[in-house]
Structure 1
Amino acid sequence: MANKVLMKGNEAIGEAAIHAGCQCFFGYPITPQTEVAAYMARRMPKIGRVFLQAESEVAAINMVYGAAGAGVRVMTSSSSPGISLKAEGISYIAGAELPCVIINIVRGGPGLGGIQPAQSDYFQATKGGGHGDYRLVVYAPASIQELVDTVQEAFDVADQYRVPVMVMGDGMLGQMMEPVEFKDRNTTRNLPEKTWAANGLRGRQKHNVINSLFLKPEELEQHNRRLQAKYAEIEKNEVKYEEYNLDKEVDLTVVAYGTTSRIVKNAIKMLEKEGINIGLIRPITLWPFPSKAIEDAAEKSKYGFISVEMSEGQMVEDVKLAVNGKKPVYFYGRSGGMVPTPAEVANKIREIVGGAK
């Protein structure tokens, strides 16, 4: 059993990637994730791996494209406006079916916004960001240990399905410190050999070519439909979520992810003392979204659901789609870097359920 070490979230991301076999890191500094790059700058050269600070976010994501195309495990990290700059490259990588891991430590926006924590990149992460009919697998861990485990899982999922995978945390998760354990990872996944990689002939008759350009519309449509079949497989196999306090009927079910879910758990404990029973569904994958779990919880949620977010309600529509009109869906959120408190969440819930029972 490995010993636990106290680490900042951003630095734990870097060490987790190293344990997962990340061979190349390309990045560019932006608060509040700069420590990821700083950590990799110290560690990667010492173990014979590649760290390169690119001249821009655009350059960094295209370096990721090149390394992923050569078949090596590669990661980049950024924060909200930096991810916006990477969006075209992410679309190219998705179109070329290349595995990579993208870290987004979210800050408030839009525009340059501020450097405080937020969850306002939900749309950007789950609905595209770049162009075309592509998807990212998006993880939203809630603790530093889960962040470490998720980063390692992300590399395996990327390789299994040949897709870019995003691990999305807010600024709090990147900056806080918690004890973590780095376990020796033996994946149970049957990861395919990278016979598609553009890494020389290696006994092949022709060089592999990595590309996402299809000038004939029939071919591009066929490519898109093959991608959709892959995404359907991911939706079937890779949904992850936590249910909390839902082993019985509840007055209301909260849907919250990341560090916001930890705040919600404290609010639930406060309300429990007043006889108000609240459940929680915590999406761990934002895409694929745990729609079935939310739909199933409708039967045991007396007053319906509330989405609690550090945004102006970007996840609400996915919750409403999952509930499918069976129960009301409410919203409480803070934005711009403001963090909801347990007392604020509890007050909103009291307002919905009509006070103490």
Structure 2
Amino acid sequence: MSLKDDDEGPWGHGDNNSWTRKPRQRNDESLDIEDLFKKSQDKFKKLLPKDGKGGGRTLWYIAGGIFFLWLLTGIYTVQQDEQAAILRFGKWVRTTDPGINYHLPTPIETAQIRNVTAINILTNTNANQPNTGNLSGEGALMLTGDENIADVQYAVNWRIKNLGDFLFNVKSPDSTIRAAADSIVRSVIAQTPIAQILSEGRSKINIQLREMLQKLLDDYKLGVEISQVELLKVTPPTTQVTDAYLDVQRAKADLETKRNNAEFYRNSIVPVARGQAKKIIQDAEAYKAKVMADIDGETSRFLLVLDQYSKAPDVTQKRLYLDAMQTILESAQKLIMEGGQGTLPYLPLPELKFKSAKPEEAAQ
């Protein structure tokens, strides 16, 4: 490479030109890099035999060193409160305990290490932060066994019991625990009166919740142990929900009042109606008995008259005529006139008809 004199710049000027200093520094740096690269090549060539023999052995040494370093990637340490799940090509094959352990080098086998003694806290006060334990948010509105509404806040303490089951049996263990806990708490609260929840019965409810939740998660083979389920806070709901609930309660009270009024009306009407029906039946039975008695009397009288008529027809016939006329004339308007009058008598028929109608109305 040809270079110009030190006192002449790349543009043919002297040192006083301001453009001559930076290009000279850049050329110096390029020379330093080239020299360093050449020295590295020379040192590497010295490692190889000059006669060309033994070069393959050196390459084997290098490959062996790389292979040894690759084998060292299988060494891993598990702390005292941890366990490691070993995956072979992504499939879980075993779980290892604390200590220095070894698995097949990466990527054949990999280790997922988790803390299995730490207690995780899940609450229903903040769905986005299940492990914070923050109680400032609202809980969940639940219906109690006596049809009251309560705002329930609870916490679930759990830890990993079987790391393999925890990692690979369920896609989202945290969400599964939350959903199962909410279902169990709602089920138990729905069967328990609110007075028992607010009193000393809460401790028994906590034990029942833990046992039921543990059984459910064991059925899922989730690999967790529930150490505690606690009802943190049980309070009446907000004003809006309370008003709606009171409206429902008032509607139920109105329904019960109307039902009681209907029962009272029924109890007052049905006995009277039954009494009236019984009286009508009794009157009908009495009328039936009376009619039957009259019929029997008339029949006996007719048979007696028939017997007398067979013995003395003329006398009996006259007697029947007189009796019939007596019955007719007793209820009729009578007008008695003397015979032998030469003038035509005046008979006030409308007045007689009006007078005869009054006794009939009075009789009715």
TM-score under structure 1 length normalisation: 0.17
TM-score under structure 2 length normalisation: 0.16
Q: Which has the higher contact order (CA 8 A, sep 6+)?
A: 1
